[in-house]
Amino acid sequence: MNSADVLSLCKRRGFIWPAYEIYGGIAGLYDYGPMGAAMKNNIVHVWRKAYTLGEGFVEIDADTIGPEIVFKASGHLDKFSDALVSCVKCKTPYRADHLLKEHHPNPASLSHGDMDDLIQKVGVVCMECGGEISKVEDFNLMFKTMIGPGAIGRTGYLRPETAQGMFYNFNSLHRHMREKLPFGVIQIGRGYRNEISPRQGVIRLREFNMMEAELFIDPKDKTWPRFDAIKQDQIRLVPNEPGDTELSVTLEEALKKGIIANEVLAYFVGFTQRFLVTVGVDPERLRFRQHLKTEMAHYAADCWDAEALLSFGWTEIVGIADRGCWDLSRHIEFSNVEMNGFRRYDEPVEVEKEVLKPKYGMLGPQFKAKSSAVGKALEAADPKLIEDGGITVQVDGAPMIIEAKYFDVARVKEKVSGEKFVPHVIEPSHGLDRIMYTCLEHAYTEKEDKEGKYLVMRLAPLSAPIKLGIFPLMGKDELAKPAMELDAEFRANEVATSYDDSGSIGRRYARMDEVGTPYCVTVDYQTLEDDTVTIRDRDSTAQVRVKRSILLKTVVDLLNGKRSFADLKG
RNA sequence: GCAGGUGUAAUCUAGCGGUUAGGAUUUUAGCCUUCCAAGCUAAACACCCGGGUUCGAAUCCCGGCACCUGCACCA
């Protein structure tokens, strides 16, 4: 099996189509067809339920276009930019900071002009052909646009991740969650990256779907209440310590041995594994790899990737990062808006401290209009900074020396009931398109039969776009009528069906096998006698006969995994 | 972005200067058919795009686009 076979099936059966195909297509852009869109919705549904109903996260839906400052704050404008140079002669591109590594302690910090100068000064030439190196050009992976027309337009960018929407809305979310930590937020939507070289089908796209969760926590409490429920789950880990190889341990062991840094991170590694297996990722082809220190993103303190083994090799499909306080701190810095959690002490603490008491009666005549600002500055000042009977404070941005006669030093008692802190963030970030593709490739099974290749997509029932095929054994009225009634009944109960009365029964089963439909129900002549129908299992091709009266419940239980097909037979 | 390879129906492919562009699968209509791609009869659908060479181009040349492989790049 290779990716071309899978993509060919995806195209033929309406899962994934190259976008704008009648115009020749655009690399890195793909559309989901009817089967793909349905399957994507199914995976999203499972994920959303796990986070909202399961873990109590709330969902938001923020904009995909943002003003420049958001991405200055997030770091994407700087860190997603590469200073690019190329050889004038052979056009080989280089990253300017890579070329200057040996000539400067921190070349990435240089301005473009300084890089140009340094390249000239030390005489860097092309490593391929010895040619001259061009001037530095900026290449940013974000799509740039204008918000508003003409001269009044502001520079904006399409978001490269959904995460920022959850960070810049922190205060509103915190208030909504009644100012309690921890709380979690999810967002499902598109992100955009102008990739230099999109490849490998839907693995690297220029427009892609993400499911991201941001969990805001107290950095002093990185535990999780439901960890006990999953701590026995086995997990394949590839730590980043030199010499460490892949190992299979329980989450509990991984935490005890310090392989995974904290409990909440370990919990979401396990939670992610459960989710992925539920929607159809093969556990034998799934592992978690810790990021090397050098590949850690600019915002991450620790990061574990869920990797799936695909025909392209091990491929990242989920990143679970401890982003620390990086994002919120940056938005605080750029917006001048405080974003805090509040850690309440068990008992309020009485603190005695010295403060300055401005003598407002003297300040007024001396400082006139500025007196109120001087007073506030004095109240905020630290008495330890008093020197030579005076103190220097900042008033309207300028330092002022205030003599001691304008204030008293007093000891006061203060009740402190807690402290503020910038929350840390745990981020499980899912590449939805990659997860989709992984489910498709892991489901892809070829068998040999007399016709040649026989394809079965062993999709997880929860992901499958069609849940149930419904067939009359023959397209005759006496069979077709009850079959159509069954079909209507299932659809009324939100089971996606496909009714089919054309061609031989074997062909109809085969058609359903190719789009991953887990079960088929067939109405035959015996149905007319005893009101039973057969249920046929995709993976074993076995059939059981069940009473029509319990059919709906039986099928729903099979789809939800409450019963297995093998149990039905007994 | 660089180098190499590939581009014929929804899919797999034959044709390699002159063909009504062939086959298979699929799809559609009908006949037949009592459970795993059965059979019969019809029908539908294609030379990636744009230039050039030539009396004549799916075929040769150039450019573009897409896909594949490697390099580079990349949460």
Q: What confidence score (pLDDT) does residue A570 get?
A: 59
How long is the CA A119 to C1' B2 vector, in angstroms? 22
Using DSSP's 3-state secondary structure scheme, residue A464 falls into coil
d(CA A78, CA A157): 13
Domain residue ranges in chain A: 3-69+146-327+425-432, 82-140, 349-421, 466-569
Q: What confidence score (pLDDT) does residue A80 get?
A: 74
Q: What confidence score (pLDDT) does residue A520 get?
A: 97
Q: What is the mean pLDDT of residues A303-325?
A: 92
Whole-angstrom CA distances from A159 to A213, A277, A435, A447 are 16, 29, 20, 43
A3 or A563: whose pLDDT is higher?
A563
Percent of chain A with pLDDT over 90: 59
Residue A407 has pLDDT above 60, yes or no: yes
Q: What confidence score (pLDDT) does residue A383 get?
A: 77
Residue A137 has pLDDT above 80, yes or no: no
Count helices and strands (H / E) in chain A. Answer: 20, 28
Contacts 24+ apart (CB under 8 A), A23-30: A26/A206, A27/A198, A27/A206, A28/A195, A28/A198, A28/A204, A28/A205, A28/A206, A28/A207, A29/A205, A29/A206, A29/A207, A30/A201, A30/A202, A30/A205, A30/A433
Of A62, A61, A60, A70, give the one whose Cα is nearest residue A156. A70
Is 3.40.720.10 the CATH classification of the domain at A349-421? no
How long is the CA A2 to C1' B23 vector, in angstroms? 26
Residue A265 has pLDDT above 80, yes or no: yes
Of A307, A324, A298, A240, give the one whose Cα is nearest residue A273. A307
d(CA A161, CA A193): 9
Strand B nucleotides where any atom sits below 7 Å of a protein CB: 1-2, 7, 10-12, 25-29, 32-39, 48-49, 64-75
Of A303, A517, A308, A538, give the one whose Cα is nearest residue A427. A303
Whole-angstrom CA distances from A306 to A171, A186, A289, A291, A461 are 31, 18, 7, 11, 22
Q: What confidence score (pLDDT) does residue A139 get?
A: 72
Q: Are A251 and A269 in contact (CB under 8 A)?
A: yes
d(CA A183, CA A174): 8
Q: Give the CATH number of domain A3-69+146-327+425-432.
A: 3.30.930.10
Q: What confidence score (pLDDT) does residue A312 get?
A: 87
d(CA A443, CA A1): 11
Query: Would you place residue A113 in the very low, low, confident or very high pLDDT band (cuts 50, 70, 90)?
Result: confident
The fold for domain A466-569 equals Rossmann fold (3.40.50)
Q: What is the mean pLDDT of residues A114-139?
A: 72
Of A124-128, A291-295, A472-476, which gets the smallest average pLDDT?
A124-128
d(CA A151, CA A306): 45
CATH number of the domain at A82-140, out of 3.40.50.970, 3.30.40.230, 3.40.50.10260, 3.10.310.30? 3.30.40.230
- Nearest nt to the CA of A13 via C1' is B10
Question: Which tokens go with A374?
Answer: 């001087």
Tell me: the pLDDT tens digits for A440-470? 999 999 887 766 678 999 999 999 999 999 9
Look up the ipTM and state it.
0.89
Residues 231-290 on chain A lying near strand B, CB distance under 7 A:
none
Residues 181-220 on chain A lying near strand B, CB distance under 7 A:
191, 195-201, 204, 208, 210
Q: Are A317 and A430 in contact (CB under 8 A)?
A: yes
Residues 90-109 on chain A lying near strand B, CB distance under 7 A:
91-95, 98
Chain mean pLDDT for chain A? 88
Q: What is the mean pLDDT of residues A92-106?
A: 68
Q: What confidence score (pLDDT) does residue A128 get?
A: 57
Q: Is the CB of A312 under 7 A from strand B?
A: yes
Q: What confidence score (pLDDT) does residue A448 get?
A: 76
